[in-house]
Every structure is written in C-alpha cells, then in structure tokens.
Structure 1
Amino acid sequence: MSDFDNLTTPPPAPEGEVPQDQRTMALLAHILGIFTGFIGSLIIWLVNKDNPEKGFVTDQAKEALNFQITLIIASFVSGILTLVLIGFLMLAAIGIANLVLCILAAMKANNGEAYRYPFALRLIK
C-alpha cells in the first residue's frame, strides 16, 4: 500500500469526545485561514504539535495549513494565467473555495469531527 492511497481518508476518531477547548482551537485554525492565510494555522500547529494531549488540534491545524499552502500554489498559478485572462476566473474560484471550505471545516471541527479538505496537497505530514 502506497502513501497516496489514503490521502483523503480522515484519521481515526479520537477516543471519547473531543474537549471543547480543542474543538475551539481547531475551529480557529480553519477560520483564520480566511483572514490570515497560512499564518494562523501555522501558529496554532506550532504551539500544539508537541503536546500529545492536543492531537485533534494538531491534526486539524495541520490540515488547515496544508490547504492554505495549496491555495497559495493555486493563486500563484492563477496569477501567471491572468496573462491569458483565465486566471481571473481561477482567482475568483479560489477565493470562493477558500471561504466555503474553511467554513465547512470549522463547523465540522466545532462538532468534534476531523475534516479533510478535498483538494489539499498533504505537504506537512
């Protein structure tokens, strides 16, 4: 089995219910992507990555960070494609996808469910 077989499958559910403080931090990791790009989720991931008790927060912040990095790459490609005018449509689609998918992810994280973005490159493992 290769590393690419389970790219979009969510991790196993945490034991028991996820505490409210972890759900709130995971919600922030996703929502901050709308306003700060990758910076908010990067800070949340760096603060919590070494704490094994914060596994849900670490997982969701890492997922949000990977998605924001994917959006940066897509925006760069779209910026180049503005020379052919298709890039303007792609930039609009990227902005709408960022807004909608970040809100969906935040709602799932607030419910204690691990969310996986559908088009994210998993660069940070």
Structure 2
Amino acid sequence: MITTEQKLLSALCHGGVFLAAPILIPLVIMLISTDDYVKTQAKEALMFQILLIVAGAVSGILVILLVGLIGLVVVGIAAVIMPIVAIVNVANGNDYSYPISGKWARGL
C-alpha cells in the first residue's frame, strides 16, 4: 500500500517542471529519500526532464532548417501533458513509467 507521503513526494517529482525546477526537485528527492517507490518515481521524472531538455536543444538547433519547429511544438506539448498524466497516476497510487524514458530510468 502506497502512503500519502509517497504519493506527495512522487507527485512533487513529476510536478517539478511546473515549479521551475524540473531537474533540481527530482534529484534532491532521489538523493534524500530512502523509499524505493519514491526513488523510482524521482528517477523517472529526472530522466524525462533531461530527455526534454536534450530534445528541445536539438529541435532548437534544427530550427535553422525549419524542421525544428515541429520538434519544439511536440516537446512543448509533451512537457505539459506528460507530467500531468504522471501526477494523476501517482496520486492514484499507480507506479507510473514514461513511455520513452521509462525504460532507461528503470534500468539505472
């Protein structure tokens, strides 16, 4: 059974993007927490945010070729929608994994 504290810490990790600290919050929670569920969710959020930053940088460079505009739109939409989906899932007590970065985060 997942406790309320675990749910709140996990939701905070995924919601760090809305608090202007998308890498700092999951990193601090991952280093401080002793709970495996919270650490896993912090890794998931951290890997997803790093992936978004890399994808945004690549898309930003590709804007020169006009291909990057589509990439920036996709990255922007994913940066808003995916963390909301993750917050709802962990608030309901589900073990959420992001579609792309989840496999890498679980492998660490």
Equivalence for 2:63:
82
Write 1 or 2 for the structure with the bigger share of helix.
2
Opposite residue 30 of structure 1, the aligned amino acid is H
Gaps of 5+ in 2: none
Q: 1:93 aligns with which of 74, 83, 93?
A: 74
Q: 1:40 aligns with which of 11, 14, 25?
A: 25
CA RMSD of aligned residues (A): 1.5
* Residues 30, 64 of structure 1: 8 Å contact kept: yes
* Residues 74, 94 of structure 1: 8 Å contact kept: yes
Alignment of 1:57 with 2:42, yes or no, is no
Alignment of 1:19 with 2:6, yes or no, is no
TM-score normalized with structure 2 length: 0.89
Q: Highest Rg: 1 or 2? A: 1
Q: Give the total of aligned pairs.
A: 105
* Residues 33, 64 of structure 1: 8 Å contact kept: no
Opposite residue 96 of structure 1, the aligned amino acid is I
Gaps of 5+ in 1: 1-16
What is the distance in 2 between the residues matched to 1:24 and 1:39? Answer: 16
* Residues 78, 91 of structure 1: 8 Å contact kept: yes
Equivalence for 2:14:
30
Percent identity between the two aligned chains? 35
